[in-house]
Amino acid sequence: MQLFDDLEDFGSFDDVVSGNVRDPYTELARLRREEPVQRIEMSAMPGDETKPLFIAYRFEDVQQMLRDNRTFSSAIIIQAFGDVLGRHVMLGMDEPEHGRHRALVSKAFAQKALAKWEDTLVGAVGDELVDRFAARGSADLVKEFTFPFPTQIIAGLLGLPREDYPRFQRWSISLLSFTINPERGKAASVALEQYFTPILAARRAEPRDDLISGLAVAEIDGERLTDEEIFSFLRLLLPAGVETTYRALGNLLFGLFSHPDQLEAIRADRSLIPQAIEEAVRWEPPLLTITRIATEDTELGGVAIPAGASVMPMLGAANRQEDRFEDPDDFDIFRPSRSSVAWGYGTHVCLGMHLARLEMRVAIELLLDRLPNLRLDPDADDPHIRGQVFRSPTSLPVLFDVAEEADE
Ligand code: HEM
């Protein structure tokens, strides 16, 4: 059994979770044209009734179903992931429960609330990671930077002591790999709750300036989050806030490294970074698809969908629809700005998007500032973006000049 105890296992962890699919987009484009709402008969166990599964490929259909969250419910997420994330996880709630929960947690993730973390936490974590390899002239930016970066930021936001970061990182890897190793995922889920129980009690008694305190004291109309709701939310932050962000940052870096003219443009004008981030998540969203369940017999794009069927909006296909994005397969930070569905859409639209954008912007700024002449290692063994559900490069071997950094 693979344990993924530390980052030495990173390649195999990533292989098993993502699969080695280099180009899903040719097939996604064909399906978007020929079978925009695809019906797949799931082969159930012998004797079981077959259950159809639907996949929506077109931008308009994806938006329509994510807007209509009464017909296309998120409850399926609790059926699938409740064991490991907890039964009170907001990602799997429907209205009005979801809205109440979201209102209680959203303040901490607003752009304004996050600004104070830019230097003290996000920049500091990034600098510390770069310190470890800046004098070497080479690095694997996935293993040494993009992967540890968001976990440590979440740990910092939660106010965890630095000496606990490695433990937190291990639990994070275990939770992320739970689809292939459920026992280990569940063990990490229990360990996280045990770890957070005394911390939450302490923050309820004496709030500090951290996210757990914010969750503990948040109140709307006299209602507060229960302990179980807070634990579920804290568990969700790992897959939702780590997996997506490290992959998105890897995709952004790969897009820039493989388009040196665009990297040069950013080097010369840092104000281009935000549009580069949006283009990277459109071009290669870290998560190709999400999922919903039909609560009643309905129709999408002219296709009948029976109550109880799973319906998956294929974000990765919608984001490359030709009539919405010209030359959609190209990575082009200068394309006219049009929103994509990489962050989801509707009531469950990514709560952490401002944090993710902040992390990615600070990361690109500090990598460019601290690693002169940063580029992919030309002798590296074909780094590329891969995966069928999650997508990112497994490694980003880079070279850079060793700067004479001002040391006292
Ligand atoms: C590039 C990075 C990211 C991407 C592409 C991304 C993408 C998404 C998507 C597609 C959804 C919608 C899921 C659904 O409707 O079923 C979502 C929801 C969510 N994301 Fe993100 N995410 C990113 C980063 C983050 C970060 C950094 C955090 C927090 C630290 C975060 C926290 C959440 C939460 C809590 C939800 C659930 C919101 C709700 O149920 O109302 N995400 N994200």
DSSP result, 39-106? EEEE--STTSPPEEEEEE-SHHHHHHHHH-TTTEESHHHHHHHHHHH-TT-GGG--TTHHHHHHHHHH
Using only the alpha carbons of the chain, give its radius of gyration.
21
Tell me, in angstroms, the distance from the centre of ligand 1 to residue 179's CA: 19
Which 8-state DSSP code applies to residue 250? H
Residue 370 CB-density burial (10 A; 0-12 exposed, 13-18 middle, 19+ buried): middle
Among 87-101, 188-202, 244-258, the range of highest mean pLDDT: 244-258
Kindly state if the Cβ of 139 falls inside 6 Å of ligand 1. no
d(CA 86, CA 332): 40
What confidence score (pLDDT) does residue 48 get? 64
Say if residue 253's pLDDT is above 60.
Answer: yes
Tell me, in angstroms, the distance from the centre of ligand 1 to residue 377's CA: 32
Kindly state if the Cβ of 393 falls inside 6 Å of ligand 1. no
Place of tokens 């923050």: 203
What confidence score (pLDDT) does residue 397 get? 97
Q: List strands edge to edge, sheet with 397-399.
A: 138-140, 397-399, 375-376
d(CA 233, CA 238): 9
Kindly state if the Cβ of 232 falls inside 6 Å of ligand 1. no
Say if residue 46's pLDDT is above 80.
Answer: no
Say if residue 179's pLDDT is above 50.
Answer: yes
Banded pLDDT at 219 (limits 50, 70, 90)? confident
Task: Please state the atom number of ligand 1 nearest to the C-alpha of residue 233.
Answer: 35
The amino acid sitting at 228 is E
Task: Please state the atom number of ligand 1 nearest to the C-alpha of residue 360.
Answer: 1
Say if residue 317's pLDDT is above 60.
Answer: yes
For ligand 1, atom 35, the nearest C-alpha belongs to 351
Q: What is the mean pLDDT of the segment spanning 36-41? A: 95
Q: Which of 111, 312, 350 to mutate to test the pocket of ligand 1 (most atoms within 8 A of CB)?
A: 350
For ligand 1, atom 7, the nearest C-alpha belongs to 343
For the chain, what are the domain ranges?
A: 7-373+385-399
Pick 55 or 108 by higher pLDDT: 55
Say if residue 8's pLDDT is above 70.
Answer: no
In sequence order, the β-bridge partners of residue 289 are 314
Tell me, in angstroms, the distance from the centre of ligand 1 to residue 343's CA: 6
What confidence score (pLDDT) does residue 13 get? 61
Kindly state if the Cβ of 91 falls inside 6 Å of ligand 1. yes
Pick 283 or 210 by higher pLDDT: 283
116 — phi, psi (to 5°)? Answer: -65, -20
CB–CB of 66/346 below 8 Å?
yes
Which 8-state DSSP code applies to residue 23? -
CB–CB of 311/300 below 8 Å?
yes
Query: Per mean pLDDT, which range of 111-115, 154-158, 234-238, 404-408 is the poorest?
Result: 404-408
Tell me, in angstroms, the distance from the centre of ligand 1 to residue 373's CA: 33
Among 12-26, 47-61, 128-142, the range of highest mean pLDDT: 128-142
CB–CB of 282/319 below 8 Å?
yes
pLDDT tens per residue across span 267-307: 999 999 999 999 999 999 999 999 999 999 999 999 999 99
For ligand 1, atom 16, the nearest C-alpha belongs to 290
What confidence score (pLDDT) does residue 7 get? 46
pLDDT averaged over the chain? Answer: 90
What confidence score (pLDDT) does residue 284 get? 98
Kindly state if the Cβ of 90 falls inside 6 Å of ligand 1. yes
9, 38, 261, 292, 326 from 276: Cα distances, Å: 31, 32, 13, 30, 16
Banded pLDDT at 408 (limits 50, 70, 90)? very low
Instruction: Count the neighbouring beta carbons within 10 Å of the beta carbon of residue 373.
Output: 11
What confidence score (pLDDT) does residue 389 get? 87
Kindly state if the Cβ of 350 falls inside 6 Å of ligand 1. yes
Banded pLDDT at 45 (limits 50, 70, 90)? low
Q: Output the six-digit token pair for 355.
A: 């944090």
pLDDT tens per residue across span 98-135: 999 899 889 888 888 888 899 899 999 999 999 999 99
Which 8-state DSSP code applies to residue 336? P
What confidence score (pLDDT) does residue 5 get? 46
Tell me, in angstroms, the distance from the centre of ligand 1 to residue 241's CA: 7
Task: Please state the atom number of ligand 1 nearest to the C-alpha of residue 90.
Answer: 40
For ligand 1, atom 31, the nearest C-alpha belongs to 352
Q: What is the mean pLDDT of the segment spanning 83-105? A: 90
d(CA 373, CA 281): 25
pLDDT tens per residue across span 139-152: 999 999 999 999 89
Kindly state if the Cβ of 344 falls inside 6 Å of ligand 1. yes
Say if residue 17's pLDDT is above 90.
Answer: no
What confidence score (pLDDT) does residue 4 get? 41
Say if residue 251's pLDDT is above 60.
Answer: yes
Give the SS3 label for residue 264.
helix
For ligand 1, atom 40, the nearest C-alpha belongs to 91
Kindly state if the Cβ of 248 falls inside 6 Å of ligand 1. yes
32 Cβ contact list (under 8 Å, min separation 6): 57, 58, 314, 317, 318, 320, 321
Tell me, in angstroms, the distance from the centre of ligand 1 to residue 390's CA: 13
Kindly state if the Cβ of 314 falls inside 6 Å of ligand 1. no
399 Cβ contact list (under 8 Å, min separation 6): 137, 138, 373, 374, 375, 376, 377, 378
CATH class of the domain comprising 7-373+385-399: mainly alpha
Q: What is the mean pLDDT of the segment spanning 17-45? A: 88
What confidence score (pLDDT) does residue 356 get? 97
Q: What is the mean pLDDT of the segment spanning 311-333? A: 98
Q: Count of alpha carbons within 13 Å of 175, Cβ hemisphere only?
A: 30
Q: What is the mean pLDDT of the segment spanning 197-219? A: 90
Kindly state if the Cβ of 266 falls inside 6 Å of ligand 1. no
Task: Please state the atom number of ligand 1 nearest to the C-alpha of residue 66.
Answer: 15
Given its phi and psi angles, is residue 117 left (phi above 0), alpha (psi -120 to 50 degrees) or beta? Answer: alpha
